[in-house]
Amino acid sequence: MSLTNIEVTYLSKKDIKKLNIPMSKTINVVEKAYGAEASGKVHLPAKVGIYPKSKIENFFHAMPAMVEGFENFEGSAGVKWVSYFPDNNRTNSLPNASSVMTLNDAKTGLPYCIMEGMHLTNMRTAASGAIAAKKFANPNATVLGIVGAGKIARWSVRAIKSVFPSIKEIKVISRTKSSINNFCSEMSELYKDIKFSPHSNLKSLVNKSDIILTITSNTDEPYISFDWLQEGALAISLDDIRSWKSSFKNADKIITDDKDYFLELIDGYLELKESKLHGVSELLEKSKGFEWSEDERNIVFMNGIGSTDIMIANYIYKLAVESGKGQTLQF
């Protein structure tokens, strides 16, 4: 077979959105990705980063991974290439983040799909937060506190609500009053059974929530104290360690989806007792089950791992082919 006979499916953001993938399905696929890692079916190299010298906040990340031989998943390798330039929207009226996802067959090595990656990223980021809440938070939690009122926060409400029907109130804080009010107004129309409460006092929001979710960007220095959490509460960070002061070392358990990346983040910043640090995948194994305790305060850092992107992308690809979405390109 020559390269001229190889066909690659291209999926735009519009193509992916037309698939109307249920959040429950996204959560299921992401959870399976953690199961694949726990079963040793994942090849997960470290993220590769490029940071332009002009402004350190800007970055490019390559997130390679391969999943093979797990349940009915035939096997795919791929990479998500993502950029984040936080001044884009303000200075150039351009998106702050962009991403491209590529998939290759794990048996032949040949590419079979290229797709827009930010919609996928939003889906799996919100799903990972919901999985953390479902597995590690008070099963009867009623109050969710959200720090940040952007796109991922909106996705996260949808995701956590799908696994936590007990949530009755969502407290929200953000940089500007307008972003908080817009968020609460928009979400209230979608979820009539939930009270959306705008907040200006961060300490009070953290202290009076069963689950605290942080989704911020452009943070110059940590500003949230873990000591504000009440007993039995769970903090979930979707923005690595940038929001949290070093007091998170006081957590009873520190859980992360990528231990190596997490240890790299805190290198030279603080030391942790090894017994406190746990991987999401290892705790999801039946033999090492997690039980919530009303006496513990825990924190989960969901930094995003390439294997979840691979499995979500492969699911999107199959659904698109079945639905006749996308374009076929000659490689």
Q: What are phi and psi of 99, to 5 degrees?
A: -160, 145
Residue carrying the six token digits 């360690």: 241
Portions of the chain given CATH number 3.30.1780.10? 3-120+307-330
H/E element holding 88? Answer: helix 88-92
The verdict on domain 3-120+307-330 having CATH code 3.30.1330.180 is no
Q: What is the pTM of this model?
A: 0.93
Where is average pLDDT lowest: 20-24, 67-71, 247-251, 301-305? 67-71
With 60 as the cut, is the pLDDT of residue 146 above it? yes
Sort 107 into a burial class: Cβ within 10 Å, 0-12 / 13-18 / 19+: exposed
Cβ(297)–Cβ(291) under 8 Å?
no
Pick the CATH number of 137-304 from 3.40.50.720, 1.10.260.40, 3.40.50.1820, 3.40.50.10140: 3.40.50.720
| Start-to-end C-alpha separation, the chain | 12
Tell me what the pLDDT averaged over the chain comes to: 92
Per-residue burial over 290-304, b = 16 or more CB atoms within 10 Å of its CB, e = otherwise:
beeeeeebbbbbbbb
* Whether the predicted pLDDT of 287 surpasses 60: no
pLDDT tens across 207-245, in order?
999 999 999 876 678 899 999 999 999 999 999 898 999
Q: Is 257 exposed, middle or buried (0-12, 13-18, 19+ CB in 10 A)?
A: buried
What is the predicted pLDDT for the residue at 279? 93
In the predicted structure, residue 12 carries a pLDDT above the cut 60: yes
With bands split at pLDDT 50, 70 and 90, how would you rate the model's confidence at 55? low
* Numbered ranges of CATH 3.40.50.720 in the chain: 137-304
CA angle at 27 for the pair 225 and 122, rounded to the nearest 5°: 65
Are 222 and 228 within 8 A, CB to CB?
no
